[in-house]
Homo-oligomer: A and B are copies of this chain.
Amino acid sequence: MAVRVAVNGMGVIGKRVAHAVKLQDDMKLVAISTRSPSPTLKTILEPKGPLYGTHLYACSQESLENMKKAGMIVNGTLEDLLSKGEVDVVVDCTPKKVGAENKKIYEKYGVRAIFQGGEKSGVGTMTFNSFVNYDEAYKHKYIRVPSCNTTSLVRTLYTLSKITDIEEVDVAIVRRANDPPEDEEALCNSIEPTMEVPSHHGPDVQTVLPYLDIKTMSVKVPTTLAHVHIVHCEVKRLPKSEEIRDLFIKTPRITVLKASDGYTSTAKVIERYRDLLRPRYDMPEVVVWEETINTREDDVFWAHMVHQESIVIPENIDCIRAMFQLETNKEKSISKTDRSLGI
């Protein structure tokens, strides 16, 4: 029987997870729940919107009143929904720290939950990555899918670790100031170093790859399309650049593009996914620039690009599948998810 999924929170991640769940044949989107009648919420529920016909719930009594006042058809609160016993798992995509608060509700009604990277790793009993620990997920009721930056690093570094031992990793993370739809409070014509040094991204990668010696620092720049990571690894045995490139090419959810083919920047790469008519131009793949893959002495270098809005979407789908053992082979789940999302 299809796993019954509710998605709580209809922001950048939640609306995409809900749509992705709808595209699976082994899970069913029972309902969505959210806080306020945002323009995005109204649009996705329109007749031409991707979630038209989905049952809508409010995350609280206050939200329920607000949404009704705004003319939305709301079926009750999230607790009303969960008390019916028709949901197996909630994917919680609410803002940072709200997920941890919500956990009490999920526990109260005995439903499993998947949290996002904005929450501290302790919110779940494991931090999930499709490539690394898919097989462990079925043992856990509360799982966290790490952030976009962490996911991209786990994906590439775990792949590299298949052909060499990584002694140490240094990453400079160049972060987008804001997501494309945001028009408030964005950094403008300035570069803002994150004062947390090393940044939390390294320890977050270690929640999935605990043996990895990794240090990260980050700066924020005035762009919205994507993050870029500048990666430097010290390794035990130096592979050839071509070997790393070929390994990346054959790994799902890693795409290698060449500047010499015209992919000189995040703008050019995003245009590729617009040209492929991907919904919302989503790019859940990590894109590595081929020319930046280089090796010297005991060092491996590359730069990759992270589409912060969509990279974690397939991970959430695999996580549901792993949690309920809908598919026990991780490669099969990855490939099924990717096909459904046109990756």
Contacts and interface: CB of A to CB of B under 8 A. Distances in A.
Interface of A: 15, 38-40, 42-44, 46, 48-50, 180-183, 188-189, 224, 261-265, 267-268, 270-272, 274-277, 279-281, 342
A271 B50 contact: no
A85 to B, nearest CB: 31
Given A48-B342, A262-B38, A342-B48, A43 B268 contact: no
A307 to B, nearest CB: 13
Given A43-B276, A49-B275, 10 more contacts: A39-B262, A39-B263, A43-B275, A180-B271, A181-B268, A183-B267, A188-B189, A274-B280, A280-B281, A281-B281
A40 B271 contact: yes
- For A43, A189, A264, the residue with the greatest tally of chain B CB atoms inside 10 Å of its CB is A43
B276 A39 contact: no
Given A42-B261, A262-B38, A50 B268 contact: no
Given A272-B43, A275-B40, A265 B183 contact: yes
20 contacts: A15-B275, A40-B262, A40-B272, A40-B275, A42-B261, A43-B275, A49-B276, A50-B275, A50-B276, A180-B267, A180-B271, A180-B274, A181-B268, A181-B270, A183-B264, A188-B189, A224-B267, A274-B280, A277-B279, A280-B281
Nearest to A275: B43
A50 B342 CA distance: 13
A280 B275 contact: yes
A277 to B, nearest CB: 4
A139 B267 CA distance: 42
A93 to B, nearest CB: 15
Nearest to A43: B275
Given A263-B39, A271-B40, A280 B277 contact: yes
Nearest to A276: B48
Contact of A271 (B39, B189, B268, B342): B39
A166 B280 CA distance: 40
Nearest to A266: B183
Nearest to A265: B183
Contacts of A279: 277
Nearest to A183: B265
A279 B282 CA distance: 11
A66 B274 CA distance: 25
- For A39, A261, A264, A272, the residue with the greatest tally of chain B CB atoms inside 10 Å of its CB is A39
A189 B50 CA distance: 36
Contacts of A183: 264-265, 267-268
A250 to B, nearest CB: 18
Given A42-B261, A261-B39, A342-B48, A274 B281 contact: yes
Nearest to A190: B189
A69 to B, nearest CB: 13
Contacts of A267: 180-183, 224
Nearest to A343: B48
